[in-house]
């Protein structure tokens, strides 16, 4: 081999070059990532809604010796706890051996995903078809939701307070639901509309049946809305609910099916709800993997991120701060000092560069699939508006924590003024906690079927592990 010139050596020393997983990871390490992804796929399949994610998470935590904590409980050093917030968000934490005044290492992700929620008065009949009206939840591209198989997940609270769980469409042999679409032969007018006007929110009605109710003598009932009656009778028989119970329900139409490998090499993974379970799972498993850390570590899995983080289960709620207050009271520490010394990785997905749509990206500052976990110093839109912009010092501190252990890259979400988006980072940062965004690059983000790389998933887990230990 010929010796390098001074210029070549200087280049190697001074230039930054984004590296791919395949440049820096051995085949054995890539296999580790494939293995890790199996656990993730299982988690994902059982966590299509935030309620299901909380259940799945709580079961994993219990398995690992975590016990349920209620606000006001006393905690002890080394104790492992989780706070189940209304069944829709969860705070898991392990008390470290160092003083709480040293701060908490917080990993925050969200477990709600874009979908179609049922309206509170959803059921209607039209021309012999029974439908459920939906109101989309989070940012969806409406055209993506017709003609795909949809399942129904959620809960209904009956009079007197009993809540029944409903899941239809996932098990083998289950029926599914669908939103129909125009045939191309008759879509000329619709085709002429812009994409955002061709499909309307009020048009996203779920087809759920078409047979009438039969009287006991085997004749079709003479009652109006025969199909609706039949559907309601079936729901009543199975779940004991009546139509007015929909008013006290949270039912969601989500894409049917499980996480699957994509491609001949099985390296990419397709599924509904990667955003943001693909960050929630690595954060959670990092907490479980760092039992011997001296730090107090907390994994927050929030709800409502997709609709702005409002409400009691969103990250704008005071619960994170209240919980830190409670822990500090229990440990006789000033919680303001604890917060000031805490740090947070706000874990959310980023837009992976898609060669089919290069125009919306700025190549030097976008997330590349298979180049590791993505750090975003800021998110927001339109001139860094509405973002936590992490300080140089804090980003530097995280870089040092990652060292050689983690393959990471930096990115903005898309080209300036192409759009933009936010995360929970700013709500944590607003509690006086240094925070930076971190996550997995995703293709087709917010679509019913999103795509990630198993390698990026695993690097994200390693990033949380390095942060927690
Ligand atoms: Mn997200
Ligand atoms: Mn999202």
Tens of pLDDT along 13-49?
A: 999 999 999 999 999 999 999 999 999 999 999 999 9
Half-sphere exposure of 203 (CA within 13 A, CB side): 15
364 Cα–ligand 2 center, Å:
23
423 Cα–ligand 1 center, Å:
7
- The pLDDT of residue 66 is 98
Question: Which pair of structure tokens corresponds to residue 176?
Answer: 């599914």
Query: What is the rounded distance in angstroms from the CA atom of residue 351 to the CA atom of residue 447?
Result: 12
306 Cα–ligand 2 center, Å:
5
Report the candidate in 404, 437, 327, 356 with the shortest Cα–Cα distance to residue 80: 327
Smallest-distance ligand from the CA of 301:
1
Query: What is the rounded distance in angstroms from the CA atom of residue 208 to the CA atom of residue 366?
Result: 42
Report the candidate in 369, 320, 387 with the shortest Cα–Cα distance to residue 110: 320
Please count the other Cβ atoms lying within 10 Å of the Cβ belonging to residue 47.
22
Tally DSSP H helices, then E strands, for the chain: 13, 20
DSSP state of 418: S
Query: What is the rounded distance in angstroms from the CA atom of residue 137 to the CA atom of residue 117?
Result: 6
275 Cα–ligand 2 center, Å:
5
What's the CA angle centered on 302, arms 298 and 308, to 5 degrees?
A: 135
Question: Which pair of structure tokens corresponds to residue 256?
Answer: 């049917």
Architecture of the domain spanning 7-113+272-468 = 3-Layer(aba) Sandwich (3.40)
- The pLDDT of residue 422 is 81
173 Cα–ligand 1 center, Å:
32
- The pLDDT of residue 87 is 98
DSSP state of 317: S
What's the CA angle centered on 390, arms 388 and 393, to 5 degrees?
A: 160
340 Cα–ligand 2 center, Å:
28
- 244: burial class by Cβ within 10 Å (0-12, 13-18, 19+)? exposed
Query: What is the rounded distance in angstroms from the CA atom of residue 79 to the CA atom of residue 95?
Result: 5
Query: What is the rounded distance in angstroms from the CA atom of residue 89 to the CA atom of residue 427?
Result: 15
Q: State yes or no: cis peptide before 344, omega within 30 of 0.
A: no
- The pLDDT of residue 379 is 83
Smallest-distance ligand from the CA of 347:
1
In the chain, which segments carry CATH 2.30.250.10? 115-255
Q: Which residues surround ligand 2, an ion (CB under 5 A)?
A: 275
115-255 sits in which CATH class? mainly beta
Residue tagged 């079927």 (tokens): 449
Query: What is the rounded distance in angstroms from the CA atom of residue 196 to the CA atom of residue 208?
Result: 26
| Measured CA distances, 16 to 94, 178, 322, 383, 453 (Å) | 37, 49, 42, 25, 23
Mark the ranges of the chain whose per-residue pLDDT is less than 70: 1
In the chain, which segments carry CATH 3.40.630.10? 7-113+272-468
Query: What is the rounded distance in angstroms from the CA atom of residue 75 to the CA atom of residue 81?
Result: 8
Smallest-distance ligand from the CA of 424:
1
């Amino acid at each position: 081999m010929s010796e390098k010139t001074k210029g070549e050596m200087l280049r190697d020393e001074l230039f930054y070059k984004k590296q791919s997983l395949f440049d820096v990871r051995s085949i054995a390490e890539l296999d580790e990532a494939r293995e890790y992804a199996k656990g993730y796929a299982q988690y994902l399949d059982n966590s299509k809604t935030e309620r299901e994610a909380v259940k799945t998470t709580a079961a994993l935590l219990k398995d690992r010796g975590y016990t349920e904590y209620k606000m006001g409980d006393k905690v002890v050093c080394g104790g492992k706890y989780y706070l189940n917030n209304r069944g829709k968000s969860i705070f898991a934490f392990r008390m470290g051996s160092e003083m709480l005044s040293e701060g908490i290492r917080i990993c925050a992700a969200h477990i709600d995903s874009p979908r179609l929620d049922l309206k509170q008065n959803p059921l209607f009949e039209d021309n012999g078809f029974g439908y459920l009206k939906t109101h989309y939840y989070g940012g969806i591209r409406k055209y993506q939701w017709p003609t795909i198989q949809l399942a129904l997940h959620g809960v209904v609270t009956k009079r007197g307070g009993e809540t029944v769980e409903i899941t239809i469409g996932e098990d083998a042999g289950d029926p599914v639901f669908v939103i129909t679409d125009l045939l191309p032969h008759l879509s000329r007018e619709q085709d002429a509309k812009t994409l955002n006007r061709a499909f309307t929110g009020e048009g996203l009605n779920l087809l759920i049946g078409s047979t009438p109710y039969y009287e006991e003598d085997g004749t079709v009932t003479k009652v109006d809305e025969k199909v609706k009656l039949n559907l309601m009778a079936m729901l009543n028989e199975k779940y004991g609910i009546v139509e007015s119970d929909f008013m006290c329900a949270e039912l969601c139409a989500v894409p049917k099916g499980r996480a699957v490998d994509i491609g001949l090499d099985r390296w990419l993974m397709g599924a509904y709800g990667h955003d943001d379970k693909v960050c929630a799972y690595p954060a959670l498993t990092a907490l479980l993997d760092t039992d011997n850390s001296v730090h107090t570590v907390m994994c927050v899995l929030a709800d409502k991120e997709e609709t702005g983080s409002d409400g009691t289960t969103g990250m704008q709620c005071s619960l994170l701060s209240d919980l830190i207050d409670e822990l500090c009271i229990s440990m006789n520490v000033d919680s303001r000092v604890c917060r000031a010394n805490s740090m947070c990785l706000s874990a959310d997905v980023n837009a992976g560069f898609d060669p089919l749509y290069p125009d919306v990206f700025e190549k030097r500052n976008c997330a590349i699939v298979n180049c590791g976990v993505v750090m975003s110093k800021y998110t927001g839109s339109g001139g860094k508006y509405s973002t936590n912009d992490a300080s140089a010092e804090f980003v530097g501190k995280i870089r040092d924590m990652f060292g050689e252990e983690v393959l990471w890259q930096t990115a903005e979400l898309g080209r300036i003024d192409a759009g933009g988006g936010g995360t929970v980072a700013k709500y944590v940062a607003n509690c006086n906690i240094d925070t930076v965004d971190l996550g997995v690059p995703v293709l087709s983000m917010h679509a019913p079927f999103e795509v990630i790389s198993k390698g990026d998933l695993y690097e994200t887990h390693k990033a949380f592990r390095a942060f927690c230990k």
